[in-house]
Structure 1
């Protein structure tokens, strides 16, 4: 090797030893701007990922399922998404996805919200409803219509992602919207809209999780990522006000509103993830799979037990 080449190689090695984050590709994580992912946002803001030796780069998507395609194509290393989104994708790509951790479950942070004049579920007959067809909000709408004794044919459904649905209700272009926080609080507070049905009425229906490809070539980094989320979740629980201040600018919501929204969630640490993945998640997964099959969204049931990989958890 020529002297110049040896010097360049030595310099590169020295740089890698001084700053190991520069020696590896970034760990790429997909997410959407959902309050339930607060532990991820906090870890980005307080440097927890860097302290664990991870160079985490986030990629934002409008809806929970959107990041699963780039995850499968190798353009993401992990995706923060919903259980139902994984089930939908797994139906068409069996054996390709794994759920390695739970993040949270919504307990009022997703809701069917209607304009001021619609005060009960039965009054939705003939209403224009914005919802993300075929994803988690559609499942919630199905539960609400079932409770109201209405069929999907008795309402007019427009396919909108949760943010767009909230904006459409605010603008008056739909009569009701299946949306999430912070839209729920904003619509109910500023527009006098009515929360007709929420995840508080159907516990554990909407679960958020960390999904990876079954061909996970960065398993050790994934385990570090989950360990950081675990520790950060505990921090958020113990310090909600401090956590809210850290992420207020990131998710564009005032800190006091974030603290209030956290009361509508159950954040899972790793121990709780293990317990839920051994029992509740399987049951809920079977229910979601059956719902999607009944709606002809998928053609066969998905065995959720084959997707769950709790061995990644610390």
Structure 2
């Protein structure tokens, strides 16, 4: 038997080790984006909300652990007004928000127009024109100073008040103010009335010599709050969005089945007592899943929300509140309710 060259054997083994190390490194390089993607914590869905009692159902869903049990991470981002929500959406800081349908319809406000995936509530008395004692008819607003938020909702309400009251815009003094500023102006006597909503509405009625002259009860079905989400999020994170919607409807059912217990959890953030919060909720109708399906429709038939969107779009364009208003067909994504 011939001798084995120990040096050659070692060199061969070294080459094998180097080859194995190179192969392992190359595989690791190829897999690193996948591993990184899998190990990177998923960003939460960020939803913008402002102060409106029905919107607190999102916080109830968080507090009761409905988001967690549906295996979806949701961050609720609070704003004092819709103006702040819109700014944050433009900056890419939130993925979606709750707002009135006519706000979402204003195409001029969006480069990335969101889609509507569910109806949160109908206002039925929760939005109102509050005036000083002594003003009893809409015609008596002539020459008066009226504060309102110059958003699509505030402008829409003001226009409807003038239409129903038989007044022309130049016959009143309309003052653009944020809700909290308008409350202060009313308190200090700088304005004769203001357009506001809960919880500010209830606060004014409790603490000021004020009365409701006009409310969303006078225009039933015209002020609709919806959940709107960025379309790229709907395309890339559809399953998470559906999980969040399921958590929302669990909160809706909880409020329906145990109103006092649910209100006790939600009232604190609005700085209201449980009874005050329940009273504020009476100013809105919150549709469940079955009613949402009727409102949004399906791929084969349009729901009632399409008719509402058509009426609002015509109003927005006619009164030059936008150059183009999105139709229901352009906005509404009923398919996110299909798997509920």
Instruction: Bin the TM-score by the shorter chain.
Output: 0.7 to 0.9
2:295 to 272, 276, 296: 276
- Partner of residue 10, structure 1: none
Secondary structure (helix, strand or coil) at the match of 1:312 reads helix
Bigger radius of gyration = 2
Cα deviation, 1:238-278, whole Å, max 9, x if unaligned, reads: 21111111012212111110011111110122221121123
**Secondary structure in structure 2 of the residue aligned to 1:23:** coil
Shift of 1:304: 2.0
2:328 corresponds to 1:309: no
Query: What's the secondary structure of 1:275's corresponding residue?
Result: helix
SS in structure 2 of the partner of residue 204 of structure 1: coil
Quickly say closer, same or farther: Cα 1:153–1:116, change in 2 above 3 A: same
Post-superposition offset of 1:188 = 2.1
Q: Does 1:71 align with 2:89?
A: yes
Shift of 1:105: 0.8
Equivalent position of 1:295 in the other structure: 319
Deviation at 1:74, TM superposition (A): 3.3
| Paired position in structure 2 for 1:184 | 201
- What are the ranges of 5 or more consecutive residues in structure 2 without an aligned counterpart? 1-20, 29-34, 298-302
Partners of 1:166 and 1:178 within 8 A in 2: no
Q: 1:158 to 1:241 in 2, by over 3 A?
A: same
Shift of 1:64: 2.8
3-state SS of paired residue (2:263): helix
Report the counterpart of residue 237 of structure 2 in structure 1.
218
Q: Partner of 1:241: helix, strand, or coil? A: helix
Cα 1:160–1:183, aligned 2, differ >3 Å: closer, same or farther? Answer: same
Q: Distance in 1 between matches of 2:228 and 2:87?
A: 12
Tell me, yes or no, if structure 1 residue 28 matches structure 2 residue 46: yes
Distance 1:310 1:57, change over 3 A: same
Q: What SS does structure 1 have at the residue aligned with 2:232?
A: coil
Q: Whole-Å Cα distance in 1 between the matches of residues 206 and 64 of structure 2?
A: 31
1:260 and 1:308 mapped to 2: Cα distance? Answer: 31
Displacement of 1:173 in angstroms is 1.8
Distance 1:67 1:92 in 2: 12
| More displaced stretch, 166-175 vs 23-32 | 166-175
CA contact 2:102–2:309 (8 Å) conserved in 1: yes
Distance 2:77 2:325 in 1: 30
Which of structure 1's runs of 4+ aligned residues deviate more than 6 A?
none
TM-score computed with the length of structure 2 as normaliser: 0.81
Take 1:129 and 1:261, find their aligned partners in 2: how far apart are those partners? Answer: 23
Unaligned runs of 5+ residues in structure 1 are: 7-12
Deviation at 1:91, TM superposition (A): 4.0
Residue aligning to 2:160? 143
TM-score, normalization by structure 1: 0.88
2:263 is equivalent to residue 239 of structure 1: no
Q: CA deviation at 1:37?
A: 0.8
1:128 is aligned to 145
CA–CA distance in structure 2, aligned partners of residues 231 and 149 of structure 1: 44
Q: Deviations over 1:216-255 (max 9, x none)?
A: 2322111111111011101112211111110122121111
**Does residue 48 of the first structure (1) align with residue 66 of the second (2)?**
yes
For residues 50 and 299 of structure 1, do their structure 2 counterparts lie closer, same or farther at Cα, with a shift above 3 Å needed?
same
Specify the SS of the correspondent of 2:105: helix
Q: Which moved more, 1:225-234 or 1:50-59?
A: 50-59
Counterpart residue number, 2:11: none
User: Over the residues paired in the alignment, what is the CA RMSD in angstroms?
Assistant: 2.3
Distance in 2 between residues matched to 1:294 and 1:63, nearest whole Å: 25
Deviation at 1:82, TM superposition (A): 1.4
